[in-house]
Amino acid sequence: MASQEPAYIAIAQRKQDALAAAIPAEWRLPAHLIPAGMLSLAESITEGPKKYGRVNVTEIPRTCGILTAKELEITENYDVRGLVSAMTGRKLKAEEVIRGFCKRAAIAHQLTRCITEPLFDRALRQAKELDDYLQRTGRPVGPLHGLPVSVKDTFCVEGADTSIGLAALAFKPARKNADLVDLLQSLGAVIIAKTNIPQTLGTLDSCNHLFGRTLNPLNRQWTAGGSTGGEGALLAMNGSMVGFGTDIGGSIRIPAMCQGLYGFKPSEGRVPYGGQESGQVEGKGRVSLQPVAGPLARSVADIAAVMAEIVPRAELFGEDCIPGYWPTPSMPASLAPPRNFTIGILKTDGLVTPLPPITRILEEVANHLRRTPGVEVVEIPLPPVLPKCQALAGRLMGVDGGSNMLDLIESMGEPLTPWLQGRMKRGKALTINQLAQLQAQRAQVEKEMMKMWTLSSSSKTRQVDAIVCPIAPHPVPQMDRYNAVGYTSTFVLLDYPAGVVPVRPFVESDLELGREMKDPVLGSWDKANRLLWDEKTVDRRVYLESPLSVQVVTPKQRDYELFQAMEIIDRAVQGRVGSTPAKL
């Protein structure tokens, strides 16, 4: 007698059917425009990158004929403030803007599997209501009137599933919105879709049995990153103006790096986090490591445009938020920052040595900044406690032993995805004494790390405004090969705001074919990282044209200063030193 099929398979099929039905027939790509290798749901999880081929699909929305010329203009030629201004100034209707982005999001999904919940019908209804209100009153609903945004699947949207890729949570619509969703809608923003994540939310490749694997639209062999990978893919395809994700180990910054986007992990309390589904014991973040919510976008200006509206209002929507202030304008309209701005270069975390192209991009950014008026560049010595941060953050993430998540997975007969097999096991929850000891260690590390921001010499004390460091010790890797998370998890442990600025693509001269690293191997993480550069274990040419980015970090609660630093660095590396900085 044949064994009964696990319950998750039928649930996944129902979910896929519902997702497909939400895309109108006229928005569906003909089969010949979908590159070969768009595998079945099951195959997308198990097959390696060679099955997908080196394909960039970002041009398909422009050439497929589904979007009109006006919709292409709407989805490609505006920044956040310009698009909102066009709607509030009645140059564009919110309904036509939202339709254009919904269509583009539908196309993006058919090429990358980035969406979990298409909210197209309700988004179009909301857009019509915005147009009617503006027509009737002469006033916009809010400062983000009509702005199309997307959110990670973890955020609850009333009436839509928050399944986080688990069959056990499918077809259980949320009864109310997450706090951030309420805030965004109060500002006039329109949520057009929810986006894909990894099984357990704990891996750096967005892959699960309910929705399959999200593909990187720049090159479908590369990982799209996680756990906010669906947002990264959707934004890279211009399917949304701004995406909102969460970050506990790097889940905003890593997808931004993988798709050449800008990401912003704020300090705790700046953006409402409550009302999400995590699959974890409720309240875990209050006693372990607190994740935060934040935006991904295609420019620093777009991040600032939404943060300027969210931060001052966050305390009114989230019990987890604190009073916030976001000054305007960002900087005086001069050729230089308002005062000397000191930016430190931190080359390594002391645990995993960055591969040569990562070291090179840091040096290039430092040189750009040295030529920037009003900026002073200093080298930051390795803080002695920094190598301890990754392990401490990891222990705090796992204080509950993972039992709640594994119970959900096992209840529907779901196997772990291939990357998780052998890596995730049911552990033992920590006692209150063990947890207290971890938090005491954390406090001591935080105390020691405060010294990083003040450089003393015999003649003066210099305060460091921001630090530039790697996001990862390697370039964008193939799917399921992302290595060390310490360069991102560290700054959640320390609650430092941290952002991502893309610099340039990986080019032929970065390959250094025939040259191997000679640095001594620091440990098991470092050894694993070398495999991504060792020509016996990887063809380095897979990295060609991948985005090379840097991470920018500021002290705790200096979120506005993070924006300033990202703007300065972005202008410097894009050759716009001397141009007028963006106004808020």
Confidence band for 48, pLDDT divided at 50, 70 and 90: confident
Which among 351, 379, 381, 355 is positioned nearest to 365, based on CA atoms?
A: 379
pLDDT digits (tens, 9 = 90+) for 441-480: 999 999 999 999 998 765 567 799 999 999 999 999 999 9
Strands in 115-118's sheet, in edge-to-edge order, are 115-118, 190-195, 148-152, 242-247, 292-297, 262-265, 498-505, 547-553, 466-469, 341-345, 375-379
More confident residue, 330 or 290: 290
Q: Is the pLDDT of residue 581 over 50?
A: no
On whether 245 is known to bind a ligand per the annotation, the reply is no
- Global pTM? 0.96
Confidence band for 334, pLDDT divided at 50, 70 and 90: very low
User: Which residue has 């209100």 as its token pair?
Assistant: 133
Confidence band for 36, pLDDT divided at 50, 70 and 90: confident
> Strand ranges (DSSP E) for 237-288?
242-247, 262-265
DSSP per residue over 320-340, as a string? T-------SSSS-SSSS-SS-
Tokens representing residue 177 in the block: 């919105």
Tokens representing residue 69 in the block: 């010329």
pLDDT at site 459: 55
Helix, strand, coil abundance in the chain, percent, nearest 5:
40, 15, 45
Q: What is the b/e burial string over 439-470, where b = at least 16 CB atoms within 10 angstroms of the residue's CB? A: bebbeebbeebeebbebeeeeeeeebbbbbbb
Q: Beta-carbon neighbour count of residue 38 at 10 Å?
A: 20
584 found inside a domain: no
Longest dimension (CA), the chain: 83
How deeply is 509 buried, as exposed, middle or buried, from its count of CB atoms within 10 A (0-12, 13-18, 19+)?
A: exposed
Annotated catalytic residue within 163, 240, 251, 267: 251
On whether 251 is known to bind a ligand per the annotation, the reply is yes
Q: Which of 251-260, 281-290, 304-313, 326-335 has the lowest mean pLDDT?
A: 326-335
CATH number reported for the structural domain that contains residue 360 in this entry: 3.90.1300.10
Q: What is the mean pLDDT of residues 39-45?
A: 93
251 is catalytic: yes
Q: Beta-carbon neighbour count of residue 413 at 10 Å?
A: 14
Q: Beta-carbon neighbour count of residue 58 at 10 Å?
A: 16
The bridge status of strand 242-247 relative to strand 207-208 is unpaired
Which one-letter amino acid corresponds to residue 58?
T
60 found inside a domain: yes
On whether 457 is known to bind a ligand per the annotation, the reply is no
458 found inside a domain: yes
User: Which residue has 């290595």 as its token pair?
Assistant: 483
Annotated catalytic residue within 150, 206, 227, 267: 227
On whether 249 is known to bind a ligand per the annotation, the reply is yes
448 found inside a domain: yes
SS (H, E, C) 439-458: HHHHHHHHHHHHHHHEEECC
Q: Which of 202-211, 218-227, 324-333 has the lowest mean pLDDT?
A: 324-333
Phi and psi based region of residue 164 (left: phi greater than 0; alpha: psi -120 to 50; beta: remaining): left
Q: What is the mean pLDDT of residues 61-78?
A: 98
pLDDT at site 480: 95
What CA–CA distance (Å, rounded) separates 160 from 167?
15
Annotated catalytic residue within 15, 152, 265, 347: 152
pLDDT at site 53: 86
Q: What is the mean pLDDT of residues 73-100?
A: 98
pLDDT at site 299: 98
Looking at the 3D structure of the chain, how many domains does it have? 1
Which one-letter amino acid corresponds to residue 446?
E
pLDDT at site 340: 86
Q: What is the b/e burial string over 371-386, where b = at least 16 CB atoms within 10 angstroms of the residue's CB? A: ebeebebeebeebebb
What CA–CA distance (Å, rounded) separates 359 from 371?
19
581 found inside a domain: no
1 found inside a domain: no
Confidence band for 584, pLDDT divided at 50, 70 and 90: very low
Q: Is the pLDDT of residue 159 over 60?
A: yes
53 found inside a domain: yes
What CA–CA distance (Å, rounded) separates 184 from 181?
5
85 is catalytic: no
152 is catalytic: yes
pLDDT digits (tens, 9 = 90+) for 232-285: 999 999 999 999 999 999 999 999 999 999 999 999 999 999 999 999 999 999
On whether 227 is known to bind a ligand per the annotation, the reply is yes
Q: What is the mean pLDDT of residues 26-33?
A: 97
SS (H, E, C) 22-53: CCCHHHCCCHHHCCCCCCCHHHHHHCCHHHCC
pLDDT digits (tens, 9 = 90+) for 225-240: 999 999 999 999 999 9
Q: Is the pLDDT of residue 333 over 50?
A: no
Q: Is the pLDDT of residue 579 over 70?
A: no
Q: Beta-carbon neighbour count of residue 40 at 10 Å?
A: 11
CB 311 within 8 A of CB 324: yes
pLDDT at site 419: 94
Confidence band for 484, pLDDT divided at 50, 70 and 90: confident
What CA–CA distance (Å, rounded) separates 263 from 250?
10
Q: What is the mean pLDDT of residues 172-199?
A: 98
Which one-letter amino acid corresponds to residue 305?
A
Instruction: Say what percent of the chain tops pLDDT 70.
Output: 95
On whether 250 is known to bind a ligand per the annotation, the reply is yes
pLDDT at site 329: 58
Confidence band for 336, pLDDT divided at 50, 70 and 90: very low
Q: Which residues constitute the domain of residue 241? A: 7-573
Which among 345, 343, 555 is positioned nearest to 450, based on CA atoms?
A: 555
pLDDT at site 583: 38
Which one-letter amino acid corresponds to residue 69?
A
530 found inside a domain: yes
